[in-house]
Structure 1
Amino acid sequence: MEAHDGHVIPALVTTKGSFVPVLSPENCGIDILDNGRTIRDFLDSKIKERGSADNEEPFYVASLDSILERHLRWRTNLPRVTPFYAVKCNNDASVLRMMSALDTGFDCASKVEIQLMLSLGVTPDKIIYAHTTKPLSHIKYACTHGVDMMTFDSEEELLKISLSHAKAKLVLRIAVDDSASKIRLSLKFGARLESVGKLLGRAGELGLEVIGVSFHVGSGCTGSLAFKQAIADARRVFDMGNLLGFQMSLLDIGGGFSGREDCQVAFEEFSEVINGALEEFFPPDSGVQIIAEPGRYYVDSAFTLAANVIAKRVITDDMDEHNDGKDNCPDRTMMYYLNDGVYGSLSCLINDAAHTQVEPYLNRVVESSEQRYRSVIWGPTCDSFDKVTDSCWIPELHVGDWLLIDNMGAYSICLSTDFNGFERAHIYPVVTAETWHTLNLS
């Protein structure tokens, strides 16, 4: 089946020779938006449904259309780079099945993530075990289940792999300049260039197969030239490996791509720099396979969170002689308490340095003439650390109203807890009828 831009979008995967659907309303609880219904219509209907059922629990709406649009944009701008979706970013079943339907690979960081992808019918060759500090039992599990491609960055890791998975296809992760990123992963992972020769030599002594190089410029990268330097560094390592007799055939350029439209550097700018560097250091006739590990790029903008106002306080300055106590006094500070916060869906505010601010908005049209008040929004728990935003200017809300927050797909549900007994937000995957038929999944 061809998408609108001509790219082929596979709808099925094979398991033991038979074709099986990887995505369906039955296995993912997907709602199909037909008859011109929009995501906003769906949100409104769910909020109305919850109101009639006396249910104010928070929920997400996940747009599979958004994920498809991101994928087509990737294929257009980075045609040589195969995405291996980072499972850690968002492991919702509908997301993983959608990525599988789009025929991407998967970046897994643990035994459980590998188990999950295999259970969904993903074949082992579509998985890279992209963690350089792996528990021995996890390496053994990967070996038993045919997951051969994995990363390393130290001699100790090579020793573990030689004992537990001697036939592994190894990818050497190098440290690169990630000073332009909000989350600097090279502080924790990656071999320095000066130690690469020794590591490659040790791999050879152990009889291990090294097939390529990986790096990660860091999450929330704000400088596209970081990719050019990292690709140039990878070329140097390739040359070292080839001289030592390794058949170097894979380059993994990692992640660091934003999924938001308001990011500092556009995806197209990153793509232009990456394509230019690949042309210079790894031209098509080099025969090198190029992969990447995008996570937030695919899912960040696909998820919208709906949270309910469960409590409210009004703070007034009694010492202000101009405060006449009227409801429309702009000196009032409104304090609202939602049923989701930093221990739940909004944990990204404290755990994800690339996502430190959210912009809640009302689930209705706000007239320009409406009085706005400085509002502090809190989460539901007993902890005063559970603050969503310190100051936003919105019209007055009432208990039972709903606030919406966009761009909530990355590092949200995977980091959520049920602290204080507050339930995790339910997820409603939706897809338009047009996209459903484009994917040929009905």
Structure 2
Amino acid sequence: MAAASLLINPSDFPSSLECYTTGSAYLPTPPSTSPPPPQVREKIIELKTIELPSFVTGSAQALMQSRIAELAMTGDDEGAFFVGDLGEVWRAWKSWVTELSRVELFYAVKCNPDPLVLQLLALLGTGFDCASQSEMTAVLSLPSPPSPDKIIFANPCKPASFVRAARSLGVDAMTFDNTDELLKIAKLHPRAKLVLRILTDDSKSLCRLGLKFGAPIETCPSLLATAQSLNLDVVGVSFHVGSGCKDPQMFDDAVGRAKTVFEMGRDKGYSFNFLDIGGGFEAEYFLPMAKTLREALDRHFPVEMGVRIIGEPGRFMVSSAFTLATNIIARRATAQAVLGAAGVVVGGLGTPESEKEEEKAMDFMSASIVSLNGSGEGSMHLGDAGSGEEQTPKVMYYINDGVYGSFNCIMFDHQIVHPFPLTLNGGASLQPFPRSFPPNVQMEEDLTVQMGYGASCEPASVWGPTCDSIDCVRNVVMLPRELEVGDWLGWGEMGAYTVCAASTFNGFNKSQVHYTTGTDPVASAAISRVLGDAI
């Protein structure tokens, strides 16, 4: 794609400076011979085409094990890494277009702005839900970008510079939920196609976005009247039932509210033809949600109404597509356990006195873990599984990614992540993936026990690499005793709200991504064909 230009209109800025007085003191007036103030130059931002990474074919497990073996042979940095299975993205797309054929897919970029995921979806014809200038430019900088009318600027409260950028990039569709936003848009992007974001019931969702966005129904008539007085083009309604919705009926209720606002728009002289049903979709609940939505849309917005309908799935598209591999960089356990397992005999170890001191140290370590957040609430705050609350960890494992990196999802997205061994005995034994990855929620039985490691497991805690004590990935989880420093732990369902919010706090790098097309021969061939010209 030829480089595009982002132009900022000089008319958006004052053409001259004004002089103000305070009492009798006047600011000095320039002499009449002074040159006029310089004209404000147009600000040009070049959109440089993104270079896409390469990918291979085969299973995520095979790619992950190959990478681990390569690192072991070369002695290179044991950095944590993701495997991105593009076949999973493809399957999610196929499921969406099959179950919700009336609803155009507009992927929520904020969930995971991975460039290869964005390019694959763009080539499949999807649109994009962008919330910032950076997200819009990322999408439009792809080797095969979508047209600007396949982007909705779905942030109801936008910086003025972002509105200018949207205008210059040709992105006209954008949301609003307040009067100030209307005044801003009327000044900076009067040609915008506006979508009124309404408040819905999101009480059954993981992240309640209604706490921040959405106009209550009773305020909609006045907002529409204001838009009309400003000669703004309001084309429809949007809503969001909250990220990670657990109750399909929330969509039924929201669609009914949207129909009410459509009627309000008609009363104000508008002819709405656009409905944005937002996100909130999870794989675990997708089929019943899709069924509820189909019925609600057919009831309130039958096909003959001619309403264009879009949806903004995020985690549904990418959560299962990314698996994380982390290396155990350190371990804290009793000296007797560590040295005994290594076959090392040290004088004084194994005596009643030494064992008593070791037990005291481990008891103190355990007490520290369960009180991280004060009053014994640390485990709930940091994603402890209910099955381990009555247990105390016998060993502490330190890995090379944590809550300041990919596991920020624990803090910000309320995830409870589930480790499984990729290697045992210091890397000597490669271990298989589980048959399927559970969602990142509390489970009665840890994943390792479900995989058959139960007899060899002991309660452990898992910590990130930084020097902050809040960097705890799991307080208590059952892990095999054979784990040693240098072994690898895997983590499934890590594609949503992970790498996108990772930082380099304390000087630790973000985890890199390696890609495969997966094992499904149909999907793999299709992905290779679709992406082939773009790489």
Residue of structure 2 in register with 1:62 after alignment: 84
- Mapped pair 1:286 → 2:305: yes
| 1:437 positional shift | 2.4
| Aligned-partner Cα distance in 2 for 1:182–1:367 | 31
**Structure 2 residue corresponding to 1:184, chosen from 193, 201, 208:** 208
Residue of structure 1 in register with 2:93 after alignment: 71
Give the gaps of 5 or more residues in structure 2. Answer: 5-49, 338-353, 361-390, 423-430, 433-450
Residue of structure 1 in register with 2:397 after alignment: 336
| 1:405 positional shift | 0.1
In 1, are the aligned partners of 2:453 and 2:480 still within 8 Å (CA)?
no
Counting only pairs closer than 5 Å after superposition, residues 61-210 of structure 1 correspond to structure 2 as 61-120=83-142, 121-210=145-234
**Higher mean C-alpha deviation, range 310-319 or range 211-220:** 310-319
**Superimposed CA distance per residue, residues 100-140 of structure 1 (whole angstroms, 9 cap, x where no aligned partner):** 11110000001111111111122110000000000011101
Residue of structure 2 in register with 1:379 after alignment: 464
Residue of structure 2 in register with 1:435 after alignment: 523
**Structure 1 residue corresponding to 2:249, chosen from 225, 234, 252:** 225
| Aligned-partner Cα distance in 2 for 1:321–1:136 | 61
**CA distance change for structure 1 residues 212 and 367 in 2, over 3 Å: closer, same or farther?**
closer
| 1:32 positional shift | 2.3
Give the secondary-structure state (helix, strand or coil) at the position aligned to 2:468. Answer: coil
**Higher mean C-alpha deviation, range 370-379 or range 128-137:** 370-379
In 2, are the aligned partners of 1:30 and 1:431 still within 8 Å (CA)?
no
In 2, are the aligned partners of 1:306 and 1:404 still within 8 Å (CA)?
yes
Counting only pairs closer than 5 Å after superposition, residues 358-373 of structure 1 correspond to structure 2 as 358-363=417-422, 364-365=431-432, 368=453, 370-373=455-458
CA RMSD of aligned residues (A): 2.4
| Aligned-partner Cα distance in 2 for 1:208–1:322 | 71
**Superimposed CA distance per residue, residues 235-290 of structure 1 (whole angstroms, 9 cap, x where no aligned partner):** 0100111221212000000000014xxx4xx2110011100100110000010011
| Aligned-partner Cα distance in 2 for 1:358–1:369 | 18
Residue of structure 1 in register with 2:331 after alignment: 312
Counting only pairs closer than 5 Å after superposition, residues 240-279 of structure 1 correspond to structure 2 as 240-259=264-283, 263=284, 266-279=285-298
**Structure 2 residue corresponding to 1:39, chosen from 60, 69, 93:** 60
Residue of structure 1 in register with 2:71 after alignment: 50
**CA distance change for structure 1 residues 154 and 321 in 2, over 3 Å: closer, same or farther?**
closer
Give the secondary-structure state (helix, strand or coil) at the position aligned to 2:333. Answer: strand
| 1:226 positional shift | 0.6
Larger radius of gyration: 2
| 1:320 positional shift | 10
**Higher mean C-alpha deviation, range 200-209 or range 93-102:** 93-102
- Mapped pair 1:420 → 2:506: yes
**CA distance change for structure 1 residues 360 and 245 in 2, over 3 Å: closer, same or farther?**
same
Residue of structure 1 in register with 2:494 after alignment: 408
**Identity within the alignment, %:** 42
| Aligned-partner Cα distance in 2 for 1:283–1:332 | 57
| 1:185 positional shift | 0.7
Give the gaps of 5 or more residues in structure 1. Answer: 1-12, 17-25, 324-329
| Aligned-partner Cα distance in 2 for 1:163–1:320 | 72
| 1:146 positional shift | 0.7
| 1:301 positional shift | 0.5
| 1:435 positional shift | 2.5
In 1, are the aligned partners of 2:238 and 2:278 still within 8 Å (CA)?
yes
| 1:14 positional shift | 12
Residue of structure 2 in register with 1:345 after alignment: 406
**Superimposed CA distance per residue, residues 43-94 of structure 1 (whole angstroms, 9 cap, x where no aligned partner):** 1100011112222000000010000000111111111011100110101111
Give the secondary-structure state (helix, strand or coil) at the position aligned to 1:73. Answer: helix
Residue of structure 2 in register with 1:22 after alignment: none
| Aligned-partner Cα distance in 2 for 1:256–1:207 | 33
In 2, are the aligned partners of 1:32 and 1:436 still within 8 Å (CA)?
no
Query: TM-score by structure 2 length?
Result: 0.73
Give the secondary-structure state (helix, strand or coil) at the position aligned to 2:254. Answer: helix
| Aligned-partner Cα distance in 1 for 2:196–2:210 | 13
| 1:31 positional shift | 2.2
- Using CA pairs below 8 Å that are at least 6 residues apart, which structure has the higher relative contact order? 1
Give the secondary-structure state (helix, strand or coil) at the position aligned to 1:335. Answer: strand
| Aligned-partner Cα distance in 1 for 2:186–2:276 | 22
**Higher mean C-alpha deviation, range 181-190 or range 301-310:** 181-190
**CA distance change for structure 1 residues 321 and 291 in 2, over 3 Å: closer, same or farther?**
closer
Give the secondary-structure state (helix, strand or coil) at the position aligned to 1:438. Answer: helix
Aligned residues: 406
Q: Read off the aligned partner of 1:388 and give its amino acid letter.
A: V
| 1:370 positional shift | 5.0
In 2, are the aligned partners of 1:314 and 1:332 still within 8 Å (CA)?
no
**CA distance change for structure 1 residues 380 and 184 in 2, over 3 Å: closer, same or farther?**
same
Give the secondary-structure state (helix, strand or coil) at the position aligned to 1:171. Answer: strand
Give the secondary-structure state (helix, strand or coil) at the position aligned to 2:251. Answer: helix
**Higher mean C-alpha deviation, range 387-396 or range 337-346:** 387-396
